[in-house]
Structure 1
Amino acid sequence: MKREHGIGDRLFDLFVYGILLFLVIVTLYPLLYVLFASFSDSGQLIGHKGILWKPLGFSLEAYKSVINNPGIGIGYRNTLFILFFGVIVNLFMTALGAYVLSRKNVLWNNAFMMIIVFTMFFSGGLIPLYLVVKGVGLLDSLWSTVLPFAISTFNLIIMRTSFMGIPDSLEESAKIDGANHFTILFKIIIPLSMPVIAVMILYYAVDKWNGWFYASVFIKSRELFPLQLVLREILIANATDSMSAGASAGDRHQIGETIKYATIMVATVPILCVYPFVQRFFVKGVMVGSLKG
């Protein structure tokens, strides 16, 4: 029998929808502000105060300056290198670690897991990490942002929990047929864990795309700067004069403001475009990786 909603229930629903709508606006507006500002006329934007509901005028000068800036192209190239090889290394190492730790017959399995979880809360610090990276010859190299961070403990736990939810009978049948551990992992475990793999790809890709801190510590050559370091330089160091060459000092300041917003959009939009393709796996993968086991 259907339960009829009274006035109290409807008021509560309206209240919940109002809260959700408010959260959506608060979350979405900063991105819309940057988008509108990036297409605005620099002179009008400088004189504008308050909320921005639409582009002030319409200008593509900021995007032209961003596209013509060689630093942006170099940053994209370096970031794509870090993203591609970083995600491959992350997935491979995380899958290997999760497979070993999810097996029930591994000696001292729980002890190893406790030690790994310990690293989530305590670490040697930045200086020992810097000395290790320098000692192995990775300093001022793009690999310094990939190899030292091959495994995320949080992602390892999620993938391990997902692997533990796969029936043991599948592994036993494969062993009877002569399959080794690599065959079991790459032909049975991983194909059955694609939702979690998709979530891992998203987690690692976003981390690599947005990473700037360790790159700023380990990389000194400008030709190796990833995109986020270039963006940081433009936003914090106000390095926009070279992108608005030919303009007067006052015009350079005005154009520089819109260049900052355009650079943010250029650096943000690609990773936003990836999310819809993995969204259908996201909730399922997180729930499977978090609850099974």
Structure 2
Amino acid sequence: MTGTGPEISGQAAVLPRDVVDDARGRRPRRPRRNKYRAVWEERPSLAGQTTKVVVLTLVVLAVLFPLWTVVVTSLSTTQESIDAGGLVVVPGDLTLRAYTQILSGGVVTRAALVSVGVTAVGTVISVVVSVLAAYGLSRPGSFAHRPILFVFLVTMFFGAGMIPTYLLVSSLDLIDTYWALILPGAVSAFNVLILRNFFMGIDNAILDAARMDGAGDWRILLRIVLPMSKAVVAVVALFYGVGYWNAFFNAMLYINDNTKWPLQLVLRSYVLQGVTLPGSGTGQVDVGAGAVTGMPVKMAVMVLAVIPILVVYPFVQRHFTKGVIFGAVKG
């Protein structure tokens, strides 16, 4: 008779090796990987964890080191920058003279206000227009939504070009106006498609229930769709805001009056061309009196251009992954 216990036909049962090792006081062997389980679902080994820590540390250092050199150089004197050959890595006597110097002239301050205003107004206009266009294109029964969607898709791959765009802006009398910095790039087809895909993922039963209760399209959009789409709207607003803040090419084309230049174009004149604008506080300066020129001034302007994005991004970052994933892939 065949037994079912530890002994079979009078022979001693063969125990698993990890049990035998544990009985002898040894550490049990790590169980073999399940062949039906993905590699990333297994517990990482010590070598794997060490490799991840080393790689991530190198990536963080590669990102922080340029920022460190820019900030330290902006807080250094002209002589320290010359001694270091340009960018300062090891800080010496830190000073805020470069910042006070460029802000006292008025040009950088005015350019920063122009950039803030253009970014705020442009982001609001772009988000409103994109949300309205995406909601209309996401409704199957909307008027001519397929031809309009095709036009949006075409603009992602083909553009009119620089000269026709300039002639259009000129014919609308937008040269030397702030609207020339907003209207030519007010709507992005990519952002509209992200919003459209997210709106199409909302359960139609919720929208149908709202219509049965007497709600119209405007109330559905404002009371139901937008509250459920905070993440993707925040991400799209971040895209538009960063685009407006970093834009300088439209200003270079359409703005001839340097008093209306945004901060990025002033930064370009400082860093790339080495030109200081009249009234910027860095034209005729007395270096012997402690004034700062050269690389510290350029890096100070660069820091001022980066700070607003670094301040705003942490508040939107928690919506970034969710908004992009759910907006790009319809579930």
TM-score (norm 2): 0.81
Greater helix fraction, Structure 1 or Structure 2: 1
Partner of 1:120: 156
Question: Contact 2:86/2:295 (CA < 8 Å) preserved in 1?
Answer: no
Give 2:141's match in structure 1, choosing from 105, 130, 143.
105
Partner of 1:246: 285
Listed as ranges, the matches of 1:21-100 within 5 Å are 21-49=57-85, 52-100=88-136
Partner of 1:137: 173
Letter in 2 for 1:126: M
Letter in 1 for 2:294: G
Distance in 2 of aligned mates of 1:219 and 1:178 = 49
Partner of 2:324: 286
- The alignment covers a number of residue pairs equal to 290
User: What secondary structure sits across from 2:265 in the alignment?
Assistant: helix
Larger Rg: 2
Give 1:10's match in structure 2, choosing from 46, 49, 66.
46
Partner of 2:15: none
The 3 A distance-change label for structure 1 pair 4 and 81 is farther
Partner of 1:158: 194
Question: CA offsets, 1:141-177, max 9 Å, x none?
Answer: 1111112222111111111111111111222122222
User: What secondary structure sits across from 2:184 in the alignment?
Assistant: helix
Distance in 2 of aligned mates of 1:50 and 1:211 = 27
The CA deviation at 1:4 is 8.7
Partner of 2:267: 231
Letter in 1 for 2:117: F
User: What secondary structure sits across from 2:159 in the alignment?
Assistant: coil
The 3 A distance-change label for structure 1 pair 57 and 248 is closer
Question: Contact 1:35/1:265 (CA < 8 Å) preserved in 2?
Answer: yes
Partner of 1:256: 294
TM-score (norm 1): 0.91
Distance in 2 of aligned mates of 1:195 and 1:44 = 46
Distance in 2 of aligned mates of 1:240 and 1:106 = 53
Question: Contact 1:199/1:286 (CA < 8 Å) preserved in 2?
Answer: yes
Distance in 2 of aligned mates of 1:50 and 1:243 = 21
Letter in 2 for 1:174: A
Question: Contact 1:240/1:259 (CA < 8 Å) preserved in 2?
Answer: no
- Say which is worse superposed, 176-185 or 137-146, in terms of deviation: 176-185
Partner of 1:193: 229
The CA deviation at 1:240 is 3.8
The CA deviation at 1:106 is 2.7
Unmatched 5+ stretches in structure 2: 1-29, 34-41
Question: Contact 1:102/1:164 (CA < 8 Å) preserved in 2?
Answer: yes
Identity %: 33
Does residue 209 of structure 2 align to residue 173 of structure 1? yes
Distance in 1 of aligned mates of 2:136 and 2:31 = 50
Question: Contact 2:115/2:245 (CA < 8 Å) preserved in 1?
Answer: yes
The 3 A distance-change label for structure 1 pair 256 and 184 is same
The CA deviation at 1:52 is 4.3
The CA deviation at 1:49 is 4.2
Question: Contact 2:87/2:295 (CA < 8 Å) preserved in 1?
Answer: no
The CA deviation at 1:51 is 7.7
Question: CA offsets, 1:211-241, max 9 Å, x none?
Answer: 1011111111112111111111111232348
- Say which is worse superposed, 49-58 or 21-30, in terms of deviation: 49-58
Question: Contact 2:108/2:263 (CA < 8 Å) preserved in 1?
Answer: yes
Give 2:311's match in structure 1, choosing from 261, 273, 287.
273
Question: Contact 2:73/2:89 (CA < 8 Å) preserved in 1?
Answer: no
The 3 A distance-change label for structure 1 pair 131 and 35 is same
Q: CA RMSD in A?
A: 2.5
Distance in 2 of aligned mates of 1:255 and 1:246 = 8
The CA deviation at 1:209 is 0.7
